Structure 1
Amino acid sequence: MPGPVTALAFVLVVGDVTRFPRSKKLASYLGLIPSEDSSGTRRRLGAISKQGNTLLRTLLVEAGQSAARCDPELRRAYQRLCRKKQHTGTGKVMVARKLALRLCWMLKQQQPYRPAHALSSPSHSVSAA
């Protein structure tokens, strides 16, 4: 799980996680989703939106890199994305988003970090983005 500084920054910036009914809302609040450029029937997803707190987003990306080295599930997700010839930056942001969603789930459920169960448990209301 992310270090104490990242966890503290998450709690201070996000506040009450129950105000986010869906995980996509939290990811959007943190600026960890792609921006969209739409015109008529054309829809293009671009770089991350960069909304939200820059420091927290940076901390989550850094913590995500560390977590991907230790957590097999995050490592597999990162490697799978990189194998698809995506940029490594996209993989880092994806891991940061997953980490943020795990933090949210932990706070909502008042549960400790459990790598294999953090997002796969059907008993929580946060869905993967």
Structure 2
Amino acid sequence: MLLEEIDHDQNQQIKLHFIAEVKDVLRFSSAKKLIKYAGTDPVIKQSGKFRVNKHISKQGSPWLRNILFQMAVGVVTWEPYFREYFLRKKKEFKSYKKAMVAVINKLIRVIYGICKNGAYFNPSLSFYSKNYVSICEVSHA
């Protein structure tokens, strides 16, 4: 088997595992709820005016978190938009793990937007672009 075929097979398996865990992305009313379901939402400790983001909640499916981590590694490796986002977050947080969680949550928001809007991902229309319109561009094809 060629390396490309192996990569394609692994990508297909990851997609199928994601679908098996989530079932239908649109059963969630928002991307935030899907992030909470995955257990990658931050735990916030608060006392009066003191507020600290500690770690992820891990209340969701550990299988889904593993699948999302594998997907995040793939998009950071192959997609320049996500690579730039990862590097920016790694510099900001000074932590590989925190940067990867940020990528996972970004990936969830993108997947949710794509499914909800029936659109293609267009990184040139992202929030960080000067031509900001939407993270998704509706397909007319």
Cross-structure match for 1:122: 134
Task: Identify which of 11, 18, 27 aligns with 2:26.
Answer: 18
Give unmatched runs, 5+ long, in structure 1. 125-129
More helix by share: 2
Task: State the shift of 1:28 in Å.
Answer: 1.2
DSSP-derived class of the 1:3 partner: helix
Deviation per CA, 1:25-49, whole angstroms, max 9, x where unpaired? 2111111121111122221111111
Task: Identify which of 55, 58, 82 aligns with 1:50.
Answer: 58
DSSP-derived class of the 1:32 partner: coil
Q: Give the whole-Å Cα distance in 1 for the aligned partners of 2:43 and 2:35.
A: 12
Cross-structure match for 2:38: 30
Cross-structure match for 1:95: 103
CA pair 63-16 structure 1, distance change in 2 beyond 3 A? closer
Give unmatched runs, 5+ long, in structure 2. 1-9, 128-132, 137-141
Cross-structure match for 1:77: 85
Q: Calculate the aligned-residue CA RMSD, in Å.
A: 2.5
Question: What TM-score do the two structures reach when normalised by structure 2?
Answer: 0.72
Task: State the shift of 1:80 in Å.
Answer: 0.7
Q: Tell me which amino acid in the other structure corresponds to 2:123.
A: A
State the structure with more CA Rg. Answer: 2
Q: Give the whole-Å Cα distance in 2 for the aligned partners of 1:69 and 1:51.
A: 28
Between the aligned residues of both structures, percent identity stands at: 26
Q: Give the whole-Å Cα distance in 1 for the aligned partners of 2:110 and 2:25.
A: 11
Cross-structure match for 2:3: none
Q: Which of 1 and 2 has higher RCO (CA within 8 Å, sep 6+)?
A: 1
Deviation per CA, 1:81-116, whole angstroms, max 9, x where unpaired? 12225211111111112222222233333445x352
Q: Give the whole-Å Cα distance in 1 for the aligned partners of 2:38 and 2:125.
A: 19
